[in-house]
Amino acid sequence: MIAEKRKLIKWTDTLDPKQNVNVNEEEWVALEISLKININGKELVRFACSPVDCTDLAVGFLFTEGIISGLGDIDFVVYNKNEELVELTLNNKTKFDYNQWQTERTISTGCGQGVMSRLEYRRKNLLPLDFKPSANPKSLSQLFYHLKTHSEWYEKTGCIHQVTLSGMDGTVIIREDIGRHNAVDKVIGAALQCNINFNETIMNCSGRLSSDMVLKVGRAGIPIVVSKSAPTSLAIDIANELGITMIGFARGKRLNIYTHQERISFNEQLDEIKIPELT
């Protein structure tokens, strides 16, 4: 369960003061837990997150942070719901310096994830994407309509982010969380466990696109990322460096393309000479 109903008193400014206060009201409230991730018996990090798909979150986080390169690096993973704990054991071939990871972290802009490891190091060690999947603006709008139709809990609580990973073969993975970074890690973790080819996917996000979000997308090798919200300047710069097509403000019949517009197929009748290169 991702939310529950809580009792509250609701006040509304009305012409009749007697009608201002409504008692015994109930509304949906997003559930939040403090999830602990242990690696090889040591605590790695704690997340403020929604209490669903916690294994996906742990696997996705380890992958996007560069701690693992794939599922083959994990020998064992188990989620203990009562203790709000995910235990992972890495195999002996996986090199991970626990002490170094604990000291080289950056405060992030995220809700749910307060730190990320070695931002500049990760930025410099990701290779640019050269995959050429394409999409047209109308299809991207349809993907966001699909996202909106499944955003039941956002509508009910007003604070649950949703991320959708759509494959060119029609595969769709949807994950939700109170934190936008968590939702990204969940969908990537789920896709890893489903053996999805990230190079042939499009990610749709409900939250803003910041630098740390784009690094996660680049780490997975997702060529197109779309959000109904705005990107930050550093996020745009990193997306441009990594060969990621970044799209923001995808709302209704409009969207903004910030980087690598070559993956977007405009109307064939449009003179492409008029489409400038984004630098």
Rounded Cα distance, 260 and 241, in Å: 10
Query: Which residues have a Cβ under 8 Å from the Cβ of 273 and sit 6 or more positions away?
Result: none
Q: What is the sign of the dihedral through the CA atoms of 180, 186, 189 and 193?
A: negative
Residues annotated as catalytic are 111
**Closest Cα to residue 224, out of 150, 147, 168, 162?**
168
Task: List % helix, strand, coil for the chain (3-state, nearest 5).
Answer: 35, 30, 35
Rounded Cα distance, 149 and 128, in Å: 33
Residue whose tokens read 């939702």: 183
